[in-house]
Structure 1
């Protein structure tokens, strides 16, 4: 917080300043989201490793979602936004890369060598994407930030469609879905309070709607297992 709000809230314990209270709430929520973002995908990763099964997870959806996280990360960093307004994208990006790679490794393809090769290609793709985003100008990143809106749509629609067709959410983690819903809701507040960037707010608004749809699917199809393909059958 700035010195004015620090003096008002911390030293004088004066909570009548609405703007400072809103800022303090935003900072608290923002830091909470950053901390939560560091573990939100861990249950999903653990579930895949424990069951050796990635059924119900869409590689394309995870890759597009990861790109959205990385674009927002570099756009926010180069705009010098407060870390509390975007820091979770660091952890979500890394965790989503791991989920994407595990989705291929434990996928339904009976060809193990092909799965390994696809994993290597996807790793190279992510490395190239990070290097490209890091070297981009702020102007180009601004265009890409606008692109995260349709990117979020394309990232979630395959997952929503797969859930609907199978009438199951497979190995999706309920904790991850619930955390994303809560995180997007809180991010709408923090970004409007601290940075006021309409492109970032629009991206979080759409992400919230799409995550809510997946949450409703998870509730509707709870307990329904997705059939797993058996190699050779």
Structure 2
């Protein structure tokens, strides 16, 4: 068997060596030393890291699509997304400047971009449940400029200040989730919050705790992911608790929409049902026909 594994083609060997290094590739792949716990742990961490980066590239896409299809940002907290985007951006720049392996922070690049899009959509679309035709173009444009300016500022921030900012991502992570958690609790609903996005964040935080401990060993990063895991689990619990309430809200909104469309049809046809509530009966006058109906249709 080792005769085959030692002679694998370059398009398999080269990516493997680049991912786990020459030593671990030789041990695990060429020699099939699966008892090498150190290399096995390292390879598992690398594999998880690559999976998280790939998953992170699409993790928030369902959330953005939810807003676009609904034409509404109902239930989503703008302050929560602003703070979360800032935390992602700080971790991205901090990891890049410290030359950590891309597999340990790459998803932050994609999550920062996706969160920026979602933040802009929250500003652009109304927060009502049904499409109202109102949109905030000016606010969305200002949001885009602010995001670009913030990214440029982080890139030129001195290293000591950047380290302090990374330490601040722990309380920042708490502050970024509390508005959304509070809004969900008050409304007894999670609105347009995406279950796929929340679930992927929980899985990503779990995997990042392992990869950070294995490859980086940075206490600030580890603590940040631990706090994020707890808060994302709270959001996941709220989605489970308020699942039926959200379904009822959607049904009610659809019912209102159908009633509204029916009213438009009646108005276009010129037929309106006028219902006169019954009151105290009065004696019919001489010019009033007997047996008057309480409702009649006016064409």
Contact 2:198–2:236, Cα closer than 8 Å, also in 1:
yes
Any gaps of 5 or more consecutive residues in structure 1? none
Structure 1 counterpart of 2:197: 176
Aligned residues: 228
Partner of 2:224: 203
Identify the structure with bigger relative contact order (alpha carbons < 8 Å, sequence gap 6+): 1
Which residue of the partner structure matches residue 166 of structure 1? 187
1:94 maps to 2:107:
no
Q: Which residue of 2 aligns with 1:7?
A: 26
Task: State the distance in 2 between where 1:71 and 1:112 align.
Answer: 33
The structure 1 residue matched to 2:35, chosen from 3, 8, 16, is: 16
Specify which of 105, 117, 141 is matched with residue 124 of structure 2.
Answer: 105
- Cα distance in 2 for residues equivalent to 1:189 and 1:196: 10
Q: Matched residue of 2:46: which SS?
A: helix
Q: Distance in 2 between matches of 1:200 and 1:129?
A: 21
User: For 2:82, which of 39, 45, 63 is the aligned residue?
Assistant: 63
1:71-220 correspondence runs (5 A): 71-108=90-127, 112=134, 115-220=136-241
Match of 1:36 among 55, 58, 62: 55
Contact 1:79 1:138 survives alignment (8 Å) = no
C-alpha offsets along residues 146-191 of structure 1, whole Å, 9 cap, x if unaligned?
0100110110000000000000000000000000000000000000
Distance 1:223 1:125 in 2: 37
Question: Considering only aligned residues, what root-mean-square deviation do their CA atoms show, in Å?
Answer: 1.7
Mapped to 2, the partners of 1:133 and 1:106 lie a distance apart of: 28
Shift of 1:80: 0.5
Structure 1 window deviating more from structure 2 (191-200 vs 97-106): it is 97-106
- For residues 108 and 219 of structure 1, the distance between their equivalents in structure 2, rounded to whole angstroms, comes to 22
Q: TM-score, normalised by structure 2?
A: 0.73
TM-score, normalised on structure 1? Answer: 0.93
Deviation at 1:59, TM superposition (A): 0.7
What do residues 186-205 of structure 1 show as CA deviations (whole Å, max 9, x unaligned)?
Answer: 00000000000000000000
In the alignment, the residues of structure 2 paired with residue 102 and residue 122 of structure 1 have an alpha-carbon distance, to the nearest angstrom, of: 10
Structure 2 residue runs without a partner (length 5+): 1-19, 257-299
User: Following TM superposition, by how much is the alpha carbon of 1:219 offset from its aligned partner in structure 2, in angstroms?
Assistant: 0.2
Match for residue 25 of structure 1 among 41, 44, 54: 44
Which protein shows a greater Rg? 2
* Distance apart, 1:111 and its partner CA: 9.7
Q: How much has 1:10 moved relative to structure 2?
A: 1.5
Q: CA deviation at 1:106?
A: 1.4
